[in-house]
């Protein structure tokens, strides 16, 4: 029986996964590609930003697939299989776009022979009809090095890849940045010496080649990968209490990203001033820095409400907004999704209100509030370090 190939598309927050996916789906040869988009947060946004064209099915899951049992990748594939049976949909391949925080180990374990044991009839059906064919990881040259240094998930995504793609290399124009790309390539080779590395900005780059049918073999990626897969099995067993059934309540699922990582969203029903939105993002990134892992959203601007602005910020970088020619759905609210690392959400909400809503607090007061939060955290960390005995 032919098994449908499944590809994982990974990359830390802001690496450009949705951009690559849109580029891929413009190729008529990929019209029979089913897309599963996974998001970390309470509002599904990325599904509005991926134009699936003639793709037979685009499914969005909220809650990180690697740690939320209710969004388990095998159950999602089983539902896709049932939909294909019922509607006669012809699917040649499946691409799972993971959240930027995803740990690839549990996803790979659920899709390779001998990985996480099948716990239901649906799991057995998935094992018979689907096979993991590859893991494609994107690395952003702007924030890639910082992400690897500060977030273990970023390093693991690279280690599990059998194809690696450098993104945003077109931004490298000065000698120092070009040297940084060379240093990043060396770092990637240390984390994963076997995966070929391509450049998304190269004229020779062919996105379709990343998703050519092949066999994904974790054993060829090194002992670290095999060790992480074994460790994930132990974590999974602990998280499920040794039972065969999965917990129904997502909030009780094992959390892999730590208590500091969180997500929240802000919405606004009326159009906003474009300059005020820009000022909000600039102040937020200047004060939050690396604690602001990602902001992504659609904005309805007052002087052009029929064409939304796609805004995107990653850590300290705010990207120029992209003008979309039309709204992707009937929802025309301004909506922003934040993924943060230990950031005070109340201070962010206060800044948002000051810049865009009612002006209850001034932008300067909100900026000062954010700075006080970070100064307090820094002093607490410094005090804890001073209390630590020297070794």
- Say yes or no to pLDDT of 185 above 90: yes
- How sure is the predictor about 339, in pLDDT bands with cuts at 50, 70 and 90? confident
- How sure is the predictor about 367, in pLDDT bands with cuts at 50, 70 and 90? low
Give the model confidence (pLDDT) of 309-333 as tens digits: 888 887 777 888 888 888 878 888 8
- Say yes or no to pLDDT of 378 above 60: no
- Say yes or no to pLDDT of 104 above 60: yes
Say what the pTM is.
Answer: 0.70
Class of residue 79 by CB neighbours under 10 A (exposed 0-12, middle 13-18, buried 19+): middle
Give the model confidence (pLDDT) of 219-246 as tens digits: 889 888 988 888 887 766 665 544 444 4
Spatial distance between the Cα atoms of 44 and 66, rounded to a whole number of angstroms:
17
- CATH 3.40.50.300: does it fit domain 4-252? yes
Q: What's the pLDDT score for residue 178?
A: 79
CB-based contacts of 376-383 (< 8 A; 24+ apart in sequence): 377/342
Q: What's the pLDDT score for residue 60?
A: 53
Mean pLDDT along residues 15-44: 77
Residue spans per domain, the chain:
4-252, 261-387
Q: What is the DSSP letter of 319?
A: E
Spatial distance between the Cα atoms of 306 and 391, rounded to a whole number of angstroms:
62
Buried b (16+ CB within 10 A) or exposed e, 133-169: bbbbbbbbbbbbbbbbeebebbbbbbbbbbbbbbbbb
Q: What's the pLDDT score for residue 368?
A: 59
Rounded to whole angstroms, the maximal C-alpha distance in the chain is 67
- Say yes or no to pLDDT of 24 above 60: yes
| Residue 190 vs residues 86, 185, 195, 221: alpha-carbon distances, Å | 47, 9, 11, 12
* 335, 43 contact by CB (below 8 A): yes
Residues 6+ apart with CB under 8 A from 113: 127
Q: What's the pLDDT score for residue 387?
A: 44
- How sure is the predictor about 216, in pLDDT bands with cuts at 50, 70 and 90? very high
- Say yes or no to pLDDT of 149 above 70: yes
Decide the pairing of beta strands 4-11 and 93-97: parallel
Higher pLDDT, residue 118 or 310: 310
Task: Supply the mean pLDDT for the chain.
Answer: 77
- Helices of type H across 69-135: 73-87, 104-111, 121-129
Higher pLDDT, residue 60 or 15: 15
- Say yes or no to pLDDT of 201 above 60: yes
- How sure is the predictor about 173, in pLDDT bands with cuts at 50, 70 and 90? confident
Per CATH, the number for 261-387 is 3.30.1220.10
User: Of 27-36, 251-260, 318-327, where does mean pLDDT reach its minimum?
Assistant: 251-260
Beta-bridge mates of residue 91: none
Range among 130-134, 221-225, 277-281, 364-368 with highest mean pLDDT value: 130-134
* 150, 293 contact by CB (below 8 A): no
- How sure is the predictor about 161, in pLDDT bands with cuts at 50, 70 and 90? very high
Q: What's the pLDDT score for residue 318?
A: 82
């Amino acid at each position: 029986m032919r098994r449908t190939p499944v590809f994982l598309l990974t990359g830390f927050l802001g690496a450009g996964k949705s951009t690559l996916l849109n580029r891929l789906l413009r190729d008529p040869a990929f019209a029979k590609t089913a897309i599963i988009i996974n998001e970390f947060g309470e509002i599904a946004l990325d599904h509005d930003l991926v134009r699936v064209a003639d793709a037979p099915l685009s499914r969005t899951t909220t809650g990180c697939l690697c740690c939320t049992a209710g969004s388990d990748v095998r159950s999602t594939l089983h539902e896709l299989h049932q939909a294909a049976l019922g509607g006669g949909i012809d699917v040649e391949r499946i691409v799972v776009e993971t959240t930027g925080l995803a740990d690839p180990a549990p996803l790979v374990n659920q899709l390779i022979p001998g990985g996480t044991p099948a716990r239901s009839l649906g799991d057995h059906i998935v094992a018979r009809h689907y096979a993991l064919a590859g893991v494609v990881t994107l690395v952003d040259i702007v924030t890639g090095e910082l992400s690897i240094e500060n977030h273990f998930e970023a390093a693991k995504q690279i280690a599990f890849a059998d194809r690696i793609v450098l993104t945003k290399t077109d931004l490298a124009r000065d000698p120092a940045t070009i040297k940084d790309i060379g240093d990043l390539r060396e770092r990637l080779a240390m984390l994963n010496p076997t995966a070929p590395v391509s450049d998304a900005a190269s004229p020779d780059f062919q996105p379709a080649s990343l998703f050519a049918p092949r066999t994904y073999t974790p054993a060829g990626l090194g002992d670290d990968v095999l060790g992480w897969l074994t460790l994930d099995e132990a974590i999974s067993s602990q998280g499920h209490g040794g039972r065969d059934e999965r917990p129904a309540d997502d909030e009780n699922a094992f959390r892999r990203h730590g208590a500091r990582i969180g997500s929240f969203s802000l919405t606004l029903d009326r159009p906003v001033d474009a300059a005020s939105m820009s000022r909000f993002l600039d102040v937020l990134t200047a004060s939050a820095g690396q604690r602001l892992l990602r902001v992504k959203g659609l904005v309805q601007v007052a002087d052009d409400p029929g064409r939304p602005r796609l805004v995107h910020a990653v850590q300290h970088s705010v990207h120029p907004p992209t003008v979309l020619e039309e709204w992707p759905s009937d929802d025309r609210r301004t909506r922003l999704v934040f993924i943060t690392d230990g950031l005070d959400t109340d201070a962010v909400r206060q800044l948002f209100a000051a810049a865009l809503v009612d002006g209850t607090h001034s932008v300067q007061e909100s900026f000062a509030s954010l700075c006080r939060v970070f100064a307090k955290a820094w002093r607490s960390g410094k005090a804890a370090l001073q209390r630590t005995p020297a070794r």
